[in-house]
Amino acid sequence: MKEITIDYALRATWQAVARMYNEEAKKFGSTMAVGFTLLSIDPKTGTPSTALGPKMGMEATSLSRILKSMEEKGLIERRPNPNDGRGVLIHLTDFGLEKRNDSKNAVLRFNEAIHASVSEEKLECFFEVMDTINQVITDKKIYSEESTN
């Protein structure tokens, strides 16, 4: 049997999760990307538009398209940042808050299903492995001479 690589398992699992979230979002006339954006905006104080991209790991052009679409649908509004006259804060509208709750509930249902199927011990190991993978990437140890010797 051919060995499955770590990156393949991560990618395949994430694609399955993304498909599941997109199917759920479709029931609400939305997408996973919009739901993720709704969850990334502070519901009380708003979020600077420049902070959303890095927070979500998304390129500015992709985020810009999503925000434009969300504004057209009445999910968000842009307001001047009172602390920085050049900046803009993204705020959720009442409709956006409602849709944010739908997104939050979908995430919570998924997490509950996983918690019901996987022991706490295994979940702890999973998160430890994910932290280690992120640390290896952050430390750029992947292609160093140390890792190839």
DSSP E strands in the chain: the ranges are: 47-48, 76-81, 84-92
Q: What is the pLDDT of residues 57-96, one digit of tens each?
A: 888 888 999 999 999 999 999 999 888 878 899 999 999 9
Q: Residue 77, class by beta-carbon neighbours within 10 Å (0-12 exposed, 13-18 middle, 19+ buried)?
A: middle
Q: What is the pLDDT, as a whole number, of residue 29?
A: 87
Q: What is the pLDDT, as a whole number, of residue 85?
A: 78
Domain borders along the chain are: 6-142
Q: Model pTM? A: 0.82
In this prediction, the residues of the chain whose per-residue pLDDT falls under 70 are 1, 141-149
- The CATH number of domain 6-142, selected from 1.10.150.120, 1.10.10.10, 3.20.20.70, 3.40.47.10: 1.10.10.10
Q: What is the pLDDT, as a whole number, of residue 87?
A: 85
**C-alpha 41: how far from chain center:** 11
